[in-house]
A = this chain, B = another copy of it.
Amino acid sequence: MQPIKSIRPFIEALGTEGWDIMYQTVQSIPPGYFIIADAKRGDIGNTSALYARAFFEQLNAHALTVAPYMGEDSVKPFLNFKDKWVILLAHTSNPGSADFQLLESKVTHRKLYEEVICKAKTWASAQQLMFVVGATRADKIKSIRQLAPDYFFLVPGVGTQGGDLDEVSRHALTSECGLLVNVSRSVIYAASDAGFARAAALEARKIQQQMAGHLSKLS
């Protein structure tokens, strides 16, 4: 499988036309790329099932990010699709992640994001489920890896948000299990003039080579 491209459905802001543009964009991606719809859905079961159809069948994405707040029956409908992945929000990369994700349970002494990981592991194997763990949480990523040694992490926050790719890789990239490092804004906003294609390609290549360096250390 070739490197990753991530699709963020922000063009929903353009209305119906935005959806058209998104479908056309996804259709123009050559085979062999892993397509992530970073849509952060999550609703009661019957609605989640319809969201799953929208992203997995209509859009034909391989993976979808899902918000865990509503619990098991809001996540499970996304797991009923063969060869599709759920990427559950655990510890996100934004400042507000501290508001609720760090709340520590009186009973288990685990933080909310740790509870999310521990419970979700009972819902699906590492063949169907990954977790969002922000690169801006590099100090914690080692203990999060211990909590879920077999599961892939989707790691946003490298680039514009200030996350350190080297530190994240050192702590969470193992010979058993990997990372999907999602770099969006520093690539898609690499330039706003006619030189965009080249500037974006250079930025993406830079990150890809950094990752390749870390991967080569493992083999």
Contact = CB atoms under 8 A, between A and B. Distances in A.
A95 interface: yes
Given A54-B15, A107-B104, A97 B112 contact: no
A134 to B, nearest CB: 10
Interface in A139-155: none
B23 A16 contact: yes
Interface string A89-103: 100111111111101
A67 interface: yes
A183 B182 CA distance: 39
A163 interface: no
A44 B42 CA distance: 16
A105 to B, nearest CB: 5
A82 interface: no
Residue among A42, A47, A51, A115 with max Cβ neighbours from chain B (10 Å): A47
A201 interface: no
Contacts of A164: none
A71 B54 contact: no
Contacts of A1: none
Contacts of A97: 70-71
A75 interface: yes
Contact of A96 (B40, B58, B74, B107): B74
B50 A74 contact: no
Contacts of A44: 92-94
A19 interface: yes
Interface of A: 8, 10-16, 18-20, 23, 38, 40-47, 50-51, 53-54, 58-59, 67-75, 89, 92-101, 103-107, 109, 112, 115-116, 119, 185
